[in-house]
Structure 1
Amino acid sequence: MDKHTPAGAAYTVQRRVAGPHDVRMDGMTDLILRAQGKSVFDIGCNRGMVGFHAPAWRRLPRTRGCDNYEQGILAAREIFADLRAVDSRFEVVDLTGGPEALKPFGAKKYDFVLCLATYHKLKRVMLAEDLSVLMQHFGRITKGYFAWRGTSDKHAENEEEMAALDRDLGAVGLKRIHTSYLSAELGVAAIWGR
């Protein structure tokens, strides 16, 4: 127990990701090989660990992330504060507000946009047409690659999500260029390219 945990209180931290962080990009590691000198936006970034764990990502000149999990965003800010070569910004954002919710980030575009195990959560709380508008917005701010990861145990849902993303991202000029079923632990992954 640390000095911040009251005596008699249980120390609990919620696990918020599937699988260990060192395999979050399993099936998409070609992106890491292309990352040096690029910018990234991580949708549903949690604590920012995807961007922190891969050494090449740490040298990204501009790293942005959003999540509705305030404690995670605060942790990401602290972690990235020590990476002096990285211009980072992490914001608490409720994406159900659509593209308007992303105003703190301005009108920037990113070489990589990551949507790892987030789409299915948004699908639960957003109308399909609102989710399409949001994904098309993310497609428009993608200069190079949009990477998505589904859930590990819902194969039919994953295929439906990829079809929806094919439609939404295709409408803004992105085409699916890679699909990987390699990761049994984390599930299917896909990449769309400009």
Structure 2
Amino acid sequence: MNKTQFLIMATLFEGGLVVVAYLLGWWMEIDPMASFAWRSEALSLGLLGTFPLLAFFGISYRLPVSGLEKIKRLLIDTLGSLLAASRWYELVYVAALAGVGEEVLFRGVLQPWLESLWGWGPALLISNLLFGLAHSVTPLYTVLAALTGMYLGWLLDVGGERNLLVPIVVHSVYDLAAFIIVVAAYRAERAA
């Protein structure tokens, strides 16, 4: 796969999640963007909320744990060349698209729908087990993605007002930082 194919595939997949969210929302009678509001407080909370994930990523990226090493190797081998070939604004685009697509589906539709059936706690757990399974590239990655999803689901309600902007910002900024780290690791390996 080349960079152009990667960008097209990312657009179709992540953008397709928005379409899926709206179709499911229509079927479940849920507006996927009902809790989205452009507020400076939500943007600030999103930026601040990214730091714990980035700290965990930075620590785990350096730990010599075989499961984490496997994830690191997988990211470098599968995405390294594609991300390294991308311009900065293409990385921003893919990160933002992933943040929007995945959050609109999981936090904009599935979590509220499950809350209407079973309440906040079970909805947070079930929607993020599904989120983890959607990221099932290794067993450990599945668990880490589910835990990250639970954090994003919790952030949906931080600040006293449910706002989808918060997890979208966290998800997008985190993905962008992860992309940059993968590119740096890929380039360092190529240079060595």
The two structures have a TM-score, normalised by structure 1, of 0.26
More RCO (CA 8 Å, sep 6+): 2
More helix by share: 2
